[in-house]
Structure 1
Amino acid sequence: MKLFARLNMVVLLAISALVYMVWNLRSYHPITRAKKVWSRKTTEVIVFGDSWSTNRLELSAHRAAAPANNKLWVDTLCSEIVCDRIYDLAQSLPSHPSHRRGPVIDNDVYANRTRSLNLTSGLENIGDFGHQVDDYLAQIDLRWQDGIEGGKERTTHIFTLFFGLWELWDFVGLEEEAVLPTVVDCIASMFAQLDRLVQAKTVSPLRTTVVIPKVPDPTFFPRWIAERTSAAGIDKYGQLQRQAVVLTDLWNNVLQKQAETWNKARVVMPDFHAWMLEQLREPEIDETGPAVVSKAGPGAKFTELTRSCVNYTAPLSGDMNETQSFTMCDDPSHFLFWDDTRLSGTAHELLGKHVAEMLQNSTVANQTLYVENRKTKTDHPSF
C-alpha cells in the first residue's frame, strides 16, 4: 500500500509540474511556435515612426529610458502574434531634453509648410519616413545578397508606422487655407513611401499588412498642457486647442480615406485617438480658458491622466556634465503618460494587445482589397 501511495504521489507531482509548466509557458505560445517551425513560416514586424514606437533612445543623464523596461506597443504586438523578428527603423527624440521634436513623415514638406512659423527644428539630424525606408531597403539588399532572406511566399511582413504627432504639434499654427493642402501632402508622401516598401523584392503583397494608427489629439499631452494651456502657457483663450482638435480630426479623416483607396496591401488602422478619448474626458473650453481634464473616475485603469511619471527640469545651459535633469514617480502603472509626450508602459501594453486583436480578427480598412485577395489567392496570412 505504501508503494502505491508513493507512486500516486509521484504521478500527482508530475501532473502538477506539467500543469505549472504549461501555465507559465502560455505567453510563449509553444504550440504556435512549433507549427511555424514545422511549416517554415515566419512573421516579421518592421517598425517605422517616432519615439512612440522605438526604444532606441539615446540614453543619458538628461533623458529617461523608454517605459516598462523598453517594452512598447510594437513589442507587445510582436509577442501577441508570435512574430519571429522585429526590425526597428523608427527614430526617437535626441537624448537632450532641449530637443523638442521627433521625426516627421517628410522633412521637405514639413520645412516648406512651416517656414512662415520661423521654427528651428534641426530636422537634418532626425531621419523622416523616407530616410527610414531607405535604411530598411538597404538592409534588405544586404540580406538578399548574403542569401539570408528566404522565400517571400513564406514570410508575413507587418509594417507598422506611426507618424503625425509632430506635424500636428506645429501645423496648428498655420493659416486656415494652408492646413488642408499641408495634411494632404503629408499623407500622400506617406503612401508614396509605402509604395516603395511593398515593391521590394522580398515583400509579397498578399502576405503583407500595414498598421497605421490614427493619431491622438496632441492637446491631451502633458507638454501641451504645460506649454500652451496652463496658466503660464501661450494659449490663454484656447484658440490653438480648438484648432488642434479640428486638425487632428482632419488628419485622421484624410489618412483613412487614403488608406481605403490604397490597394497594394492590407491596411489595419487602430484608432489611438479614440482610445485616448476613452481614457480622458474631452476638456470643455469657454471664454475664460480651457478647463483642466477631469481626474479618473472609480475603477479607471489610470489614476493619473494629465501628469507624467517622468518630469524634466528646465532646458540645460549646455554643460553636459550637469547632474540628472529628471525625476520619476514611484509607481508608473498608475500613469497614462510616461513623460510629457510618451505613453506609460501599461498604456503601451494595452494598445499592443488591441492592435494584435485587430490583426487576428482581420479588421482591414481597405475592404475591397481584402475581398479581392480572398477570391484570387488564399485566406489572409496566419501570424
Structure 2
Amino acid sequence: MGRARSPILIALLTLCLTHCAPAGGIGSRIFIVRRDSGSLSVYDAADAKMLPTEVKDLGNMRHASMVFSKDLRWGYLATRNGQLSRVDLNTLKMDKSVPTSENSIGIAISQDGRYIAVSEYKPGGVTIVDARSMEILKHIPATVEVDGKEVRSRVTGLVDVPGNRFACALMDGAEIWIIDASKPDFPIEYRFATPSPNPFDALVTPEGRFYLTGHFESDNVTLLDLWHPELGVRSVDIRDPELDAKRSAPIKMPHMEAWGVAGDEVFVPLVGEARLAVLDRTTWKFKQSIPLRGNPVYAVLSPTSREIWVTYSGSENDAFIEIIDTEQHKVVRTIEAGRKIYHLAFSPRGDEVYVSANADNRFLVIDANTYEIKHRFEVASPSGIFGPWRAYEMGL
C-alpha cells in the first residue's frame, strides 16, 4: 500500500499548482497585444507553444506599448485609455495599475530602471511613475503657445536616452523636450523648436547619440545630436530628387521605431510612398530609394543587420512581407503570411521572426534562415509584439 500523504504536503502541492508560475522561462516569453479584448497572450519561444495564461483587464489596447524591468521581474504596459499596468512576469498576472491620463500613447523606462514615463494625448504631457511603488511622482504638462493661446500639446515619440533622461516630441507645440530623470524634480533640461510642424514618432540610434522625429505629412525629419545638444536641431530631407513623388492613400503616421539602422546607413519607410529611403548615417544626406510593392508600415532590421523585413498597409499588400538585402539595396524575397500583417519582431539572435496577422487572428513564427512559417497559433485580434529583450535595449 502507498504511504499516506500528510495534509500539510497536500496543501503545499495545491498551493503550488494554484499560484506557481506557468511552465517555461521568463526570458523566452513573448507578449502579444490583443487589441479587442484588453489583454495579452503569451507565447513561450523555448517550448514553441502558446501558454494558456492570458493577462487580462489591461484597458484599451490600441497602440499599447510594453517595457520591462532589468531584472525581468515586471513588465509595464501603457494603454490608450491612460492606464499604466504592471505585469508580474513570474505569475503572468496584472500586479498593479494606475491611471496616468485620459489618453496615453507611449511609454519608456529610465536608464537606471527606477522610473516609468508615459506620454499623453489628453490632457497632454508626460507622467513620471515610480517603477517600484507605482506611485505617480510628477505630472509634466506640455504647455505651449499656439496662435497666441496657451494649450496643452499632445506628446509623442517618448524614449529613454543616455544620462538617465527621457526625450519626447510635442506634436501640437512643434518642440522636442529632454527631461532629466537623474534629478528628483524631473526638470525639462532642453526645449528645441522643430523646423517642421507636427512632430510625431521618434527614434534613437543604437548607440544613443541621435534622436530623430518624423513629421506628419512631411518629407523632413528633425535631428538632435544628444552628444552635443548645445548645437540644437537640424532638418534632414528624405525626398528623392529623381522622383516626383505623389503620396497615395492611406496616409499614416510615421512609425519611427521601425527605421532600420545598419552600418553607416539608415533605411526609412516613407509614409504614402512605395519606397524606402536610404540615408548616409554620417552626413544624414539622402543616398537612394529602394522600390517597394506598396506603402510600407514597418521596416524592421534583423539583428544580423543583413536584412530588413517590410510590412504594408492596404488590403492589396498587407498580406505580404518583403525582405530587403541591406548590401544589395533591393528586395530579395517575398513572403505571403496572412491578412493585415503589420507588426513583427525578431528574436534577439535573429533566427526567428514573430508576426501578428490581425485579420486572420493568427500569431506566426517564421524561420528567418529558411523563410518558412514554422508555427501558426490562433490569437484573437493580435497586434503589437513585445519580448523581454526590450529590457536591455536603449531608446524604447
Name the TM-score, length of structure 1 as normaliser: 0.28
Larger Rg: 1
TM-score of the two chains, using structure 2 as the length reference: 0.28
- Structure showing the higher helix proportion among its residues: 1
More strand by share: 2
Bigger relative contact order, structure 1 or 2 (CA pairs below 8 A, ≥6 apart): 1
